[in-house]
């Protein structure tokens, strides 16, 4: 083990766990991540803390649950009182964040990072994200595109920005994934002596479901699950049923954004098609996988740079995502804010070259709140030096083979008005109902809410969560036991939501 190994954290956006060969999907073309997985510890059941961008990223970078970190919804800056991994890293590390931030002003270096490359400008129009003196700044990706002659379409407080839809129409060589891959690779080539921490935050495969590889995967061959286009039954939360009703009505398009059809709004070209048939949904799912391939190409540039500079053997690589996506499962699309496996379950690979260079599957549950303390221990911080405010714990003992994962994992959703339109009043009203969830060590999942239909699933016999057993008399004691686990966890992390009696 090197005294001070490099640490590379790669986070994608909205990538389902089952988009990778190591989780059973050898259909999607993702050779670089597949190669990484072949040399990594593959955690079979990793969960986010909240299945929405900003809160999940807050946990991933701070080792805190969202309510403790101070970010329970999107469009909330990460408070200065919540230190990131960059602020906790040993002082001899050079720290960098390249790509998506979504935890405040994307354009300004902050929270202990020495190097900063921004890729998004839309957030500058949010007054909570940008100081007045910064409102005319642009991201490095914006400058890259304008240097190539592209003109932004979207208006912001600072002038213009390249919208998500406009970016999705660019060729692969000008995509955000390629730009990010090139910049991270350049950082690696420039830093070959002192140890470094790099957080490479990719945008793909986030909507819009559109990109240069739309036609790469055959829609007729796209893998689906038993819940693909299966509308939730009456024994499931009203919130999800209303979302499925809207999506299966054909209102969404293959340029889907939760806030509307931006293709027509921007005049950006392309004809928006409604999702009315299974073929339409399969085509959209194929596009989503095309974005996974686009992201994979960017990651390939980074992994190549590690090999070229001789740093691969002294670099820890961690690969994960901030949450998943329904992509038609249960008739839902873009479905953050849920606890189903396709939404809250994400990939987690950890490559530690001096411990293992072949794939090793890790059974059991792990939450993303454990990633920061794991990174810190791999950087050389032992238990006596570990920051005592962290709410996760290091899992290096699991990597070393000293113990197994035998923990419960907890997730949350806080009530708040939606920061963007979710489709209709019914959906937005139900989105303001809080939830808490636990996945127990024996692979049962309980989702509790004081204002909607609660859920209980046996993930061992019902991995697609099709049979809600919350009201099953045979499961009454199990529900009570699991609810007690949630309440004990709430006390430990000062989570004050009042849950229903069971």
Distance CA 34, CA 28 (A): 10
Residues with Cβ within 8 Å of 300's Cβ and at least 6 positions away in sequence, in order, are: 31, 32, 181
How does pLDDT run across 192-233, given as a tens digit for each residue? 999 999 999 999 999 888 899 999 999 999 999 999 999 999
pLDDT at position 258 is 31
Does the pLDDT value for residue 92 go beyond 60? yes
Average pLDDT over residues 268-285: 73
- Specify whether the CB–CB gap between 295 and 202 falls below 8 A: yes
Task: Examine residue 465 and state whether it is found in any structural domain, yes or no.
Answer: no
Does the pLDDT value for residue 160 go beyond 90? no
- Poorest-confidence range of 154-163, 181-190, 409-418, 485-494? 154-163
Tokens read off for 46: 């990793």
pLDDT at position 156 is 64
Average pLDDT over residues 287-293: 96
- Specify whether the CB–CB gap between 436 and 448 falls below 8 A: yes
User: Residue 121 — pLDDT band, cuts 50, 70, 90?
Assistant: confident
Tokens read off for 363: 């059974």
User: The pTM is what?
Assistant: 0.94
Task: Examine residue 435 and state whether it is found in any structural domain, yes or no.
Answer: no
User: Residue 262 — pLDDT band, cuts 50, 70, 90?
Assistant: very low
* CA distances from residue 321 to 34, 87, 345, 404 in whole angstroms, order as listed: 15, 22, 9, 23
Bridge pairing between strands 315-321 and 41-47: unpaired
Name the domain count of the chain: 1
Backbone φ, ψ for residue 116 (5° rounding) = -150, 120
Number of alpha carbons in the 13 Å side-chain half-sphere of residue 87: 15
Distance CA 115, CA 105 (A): 15
- Specify whether the CB–CB gap between 443 and 462 falls below 8 A: no
Please give the distance of CA 187 from its chain centroid, rounded to a whole number: 23
Average pLDDT over residues 234-243: 93
pLDDT at position 328 is 93
pLDDT at position 78 is 95
CATH number at residue 334: 3.40.720.10
Please give the distance of CA 216 from its chain centroid, rounded to a whole number: 24
pLDDT at position 176 is 97
Task: Examine residue 122 and state whether it is found in any structural domain, yes or no.
Answer: yes
Structural domain boundaries enclosing 261: 6-344+352-403
Task: Examine residue 484 and state whether it is found in any structural domain, yes or no.
Answer: no
Q: Which range, 85-94, 380-389, 423-432, has the best average confidence (pLDDT)?
A: 85-94
- Specify whether the CB–CB gap between 494 and 446 falls below 8 A: no
Task: Examine residue 457 and state whether it is found in any structural domain, yes or no.
Answer: no
Tell which wins on pLDDT, 136 or 426: 426
CB-count burial class (<10 Å; 0-12, 13-18, 19+) for 451: middle
pLDDT at position 124 is 53
Does the pLDDT value for residue 358 go beyond 60? yes
Does the pLDDT value for residue 433 go beyond 50? yes
- Compute how many other C-beta atoms are within 10 angstroms of the C-beta atom of residue 473: 7
The overall average pLDDT reported for the chain is 91
Average pLDDT over residues 104-132: 81
Average pLDDT over residues 366-383: 96
Does the pLDDT value for residue 468 go beyond 70? yes
Distance CA 470, CA 119 (A): 44
SS3 of residue 165 by DSSP = helix
Distance CA 304, CA 299 (A): 9
How does pLDDT run across 4-36, given as a tens digit for each residue? 999 999 999 999 999 999 999 999 999 999 999
Tokens read off for 459: 């993930």
pLDDT at position 208 is 86
Residue 3 is classified by DSSP as: S
Does the pLDDT value for residue 421 go beyond 90? no
Question: Looking up tokens 């909240």, which residue turns up?
Answer: 50
pLDDT at position 360 is 97
- Compute how many other C-beta atoms are within 10 angstroms of the C-beta atom of residue 477: 9
Does the pLDDT value for residue 456 go beyond 70? yes
Task: Examine residue 71 and state whether it is found in any structural domain, yes or no.
Answer: yes
- Poorest-confidence range of 144-158, 266-280, 439-453? 266-280
* CA distances from residue 375 to 18, 84, 87, 378, 407 in whole angstroms, order as listed: 25, 12, 13, 5, 19
Distance CA 367, CA 407 (A): 9
Backbone φ, ψ for residue 248 (5° rounding) = -75, -10
Average pLDDT over residues 118-141: 74
* Dihedral of the alpha carbons of 136, 138, 144, 150, in degrees to the nearest 10: -60
pLDDT at position 123 is 62
Tell which wins on pLDDT, 165 or 473: 473
pLDDT at position 164 is 85
Tell which wins on pLDDT, 420 or 85: 85
pLDDT at position 257 is 39
Average pLDDT over residues 394-400: 97
Task: Examine residue 82 and state whether it is found in any structural domain, yes or no.
Answer: yes
pLDDT at position 337 is 80
Residues with Cβ within 8 Å of 393's Cβ and at least 6 positions away in sequence, in order, are: 370, 373
Backbone φ, ψ for residue 333 (5° rounding) = -140, 140
Tokens read off for 296: 């994979």
Please give the distance of CA 61 from its chain centroid, rounded to a whole number: 12
Task: Examine residue 451 and state whether it is found in any structural domain, yes or no.
Answer: no
How many distinct helices (H) and strands (E) make up the chain? 15, 15
CB-count burial class (<10 Å; 0-12, 13-18, 19+) for 150: middle
Does the pLDDT value for residue 109 go beyond 70? yes
Tell which wins on pLDDT, 469 or 108: 469
pLDDT at position 129 is 58
Omega of the bond prior to 208 within 30 degrees of 0, cis? Answer: yes
H helix intervals, 191-252: 238-248
């Amino acid at each position: 083990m090197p005294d001070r190994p490099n640490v590379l954290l790669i986070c994608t956006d909205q990538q389902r766990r089952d988009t990778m060969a190591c989780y059973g999907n050898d259909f999607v073309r993702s050779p670089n991540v597949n190669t990484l997985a072949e040399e990594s510890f593959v955690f079979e059941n990793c969960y986010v803390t909240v299945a929405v961008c900003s809160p999940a990223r807050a946990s991933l970078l701070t080792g805190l649950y969202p309510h403790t970190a101070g970010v329970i919804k999107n469009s909330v800056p990460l408070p200065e009182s919540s230190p990131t991994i960059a602020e906790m890293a040993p002082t001899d590390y050079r720290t960098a964040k390249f790509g998506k931030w979504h935890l405040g002003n994307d354009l300004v270096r902050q929270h202990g990072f020495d190097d900063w490359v921004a890729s998004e400008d839309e957030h500058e129009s949010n007054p909570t994200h940008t100081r007045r003196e910064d409102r005319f700044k642009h991201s490095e990706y914006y400058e890259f595109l304008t240097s190539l002659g592209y003109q932004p379409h979207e208006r912001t407080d600072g002038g213009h920005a390249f919208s998500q839809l406009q970016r999705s129409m660019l060729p692969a060589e000008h995509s955000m994934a390629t730009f990010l891959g090139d910049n991270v690779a350049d950082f690696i080539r420039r830093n070959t002596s002192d140890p470094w921490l790099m957080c490479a935050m990719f945008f793909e495969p986030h909507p819009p479901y559109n990109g240069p590889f739309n036609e790469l995967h055959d829609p007729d061959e796209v893998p689906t699950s038993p819940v693909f286009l299966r509308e939730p039954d009456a024994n499931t939360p009203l919130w999800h049923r209303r979302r499925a009703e809207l999506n299966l009505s054909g209102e969404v398009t293959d340029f889907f954004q939760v806030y509307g059809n931006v293709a027509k709004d921007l005049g950006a070209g392309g004809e928006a098609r409604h999702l009315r048939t299974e073929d339409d949904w399969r085509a959209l799912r194929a596009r989503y996988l095309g974005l996974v391939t686009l992201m994979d190409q960017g990651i390939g540039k980074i992994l190549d740079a590690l090999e070229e500079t001789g740093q691969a053997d002294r670099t820890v690589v961690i690969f994960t995502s901030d949450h998943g996506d329904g992509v038609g499962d249960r008739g839902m699309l873009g479905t953050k804010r849920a606890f189903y496996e396709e939404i809250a379950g994400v990939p987690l690979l950890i490559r530690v070259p001096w411990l293992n260079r072949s794939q090793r599957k890790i059974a059991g549950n792990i939450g993303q709140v454990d990633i920061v303390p794991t990174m810190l221990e791999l950087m050389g911080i032992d238990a006596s030096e570990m920051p005592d405010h962290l709410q996760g714990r290091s899992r290096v003992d699991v990597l070393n083979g000293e113990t197994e994962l035998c923990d419960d994992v907890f997730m949350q959703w806080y009530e708040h008005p939606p920061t963007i339109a979710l489709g209709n009043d019914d959906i937005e009203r139900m989105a303001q109902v809080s939830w808490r969830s636990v996945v127990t060590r024996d692979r049962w999942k309980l989702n509790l809410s004081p204002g909607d239909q609660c859920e209980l699933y046996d993930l061992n016999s019902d991995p697609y969560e099709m049979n809600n057993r919350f009201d099953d008399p045979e499961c009454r004691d199990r529900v009570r036991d699991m609810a007690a686990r949630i309440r004990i966890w709430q006390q430990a992390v000062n989570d004050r939501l009042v849950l229903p009696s069971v």
